[in-house]
Amino acid sequence: MTDPRPLVLHLVDDATPGGVTRVLDQIRSCTLMARDARHEVRPVSRKGGLPRVQADLIVSHLAISWRSLPALISFRARHSGTPLVHVEHSYTEGFTALNVPFKARFFTLLRTAYALFDRVVAVSAPQANWLARRGLVRSDVLQVITPVVDLSAFRALNTPQGPALRIGAIGRLHRQKGFDTLIDAVRSLPQREISLHIHGTGEEEAALKARAAGDPRIVFHGHSEDPAAVMSHLDIVAMPSRWEAFGLVALEARAAGRPIVASGVDGLSQSAGPQALIVSTPSAEAWAAALSARLKRGSTPGAMDRCATAEREFAAAWGQLLADLAAPQELHIAA
């Protein structure tokens, strides 16, 4: 019997472990999302053109660049009758400020690329506000869907009690994450009983280890396949990112009942939640002061929401997007 559900095809050009891959795993495996559609993920190469595909809705999780723009224009032309959506996982106000020297040219690229899509999905409200304020996306095309992963294992963790001693930093070892600032901050703290646990790998690993200068309180654990197990050993989660479209680690920390100290840039101000301690100045001194204040308060984060409805809200948002863009009479659904 033919499956009557519409087919949603997600195109991705980055298969490395990380937030995008984990969100796509959630889309593909979520039973709530499976009620509305069949979701399939298709890896594609960043080199050359994009393949011709058959689907009722096509979703791009691709990296937009001048090099990829001709392929994207060609892809749009070859799929003119199919609703096309782009999810912007990367570009933010913070990213642009720190990494884009020729902003007018960059904004031209984004306006041109986004105009090819029937809908552009921002992963946080701050990111969407920036896209709208810069005139990069028309308001009637822009939508916010905050990403999520399966949070059940994090909600199952017991809330830490007593003194806060173990600070965690989780993510790719890249300049973006600001772990250099965090290391400097921890090294300046006088408490010998505290420790900083850094989980992740990346190109900055050697430089960060050198920056730790043999401080026995700073431990590098590498990559872990079990994020919930990592979270279970932490009392506080620190996120000193320089830019961050959303921040899944913050969502996981909230679900686990862990206090968060975060930079609050871009979408991190949303994902960290109202109970997070926000550090507005990106300096080691400001981070040391914030960590000291948080450590004195102990492990309990205060009022906890545990992100109880995050998965349902995510599935509902995608279901609504599908309903908006692909009305039943337009879908290639077998009777």
Over range 30-51, report the average pLDDT: 92
Domain count, the chain: 2
Give the residue numbers spanning the domain of 130.
7-149+310-330
Cα distance between residue 320 and residue 326, in whole Å: 10
Structural domain includes residue 302: no
Q: What is the pLDDT of residue 329?
A: 37
Which is nearest to 318 in space by CA: 67, 64, 148, 135?
148
Q: What is the pLDDT of residue 262?
A: 98
Structural domain includes residue 335: no
pLDDT category, 136, cuts 50, 70, 90? very high
C-alpha torsion sign, points 238, 240, 241, 244? positive
Q: 101 and 82, same structural domain? A: yes
* DSSP conformational letter for 6: P
pLDDT category, 334, cuts 50, 70, 90? very low
> Residue with structure tokens 């908006």?
324
Q: What is the pLDDT of residue 303?
A: 62
Q: 264 and 198, same structural domain? A: yes
pLDDT at 90 over 60: yes
Q: SS3 of 188, please?
A: helix
Count of CB atoms within 10 A of residue 15's CB? 12
Structural domain includes residue 33: yes
Q: 321 and 262, same structural domain? A: no
Over range 275-296, report the average pLDDT: 95
pLDDT at 335 over 80: no
Residues with Cβ within 8 Å of residue 209, at least 6 apart in sequence:
220
Q: 99 and 68, same structural domain? A: yes
Q: What is the pLDDT of residue 17?
A: 73
Structural domain includes residue 304: no
Cα distance between residue 68 and residue 50, in whole Å: 9
Lowest mean pLDDT segment, chosen from 22-36, 179-193, 295-309: 295-309
Over range 87-109, report the average pLDDT: 97
Amino acid at site 92: T
Are 136 and 127 within 8 A, CB to CB? Answer: no
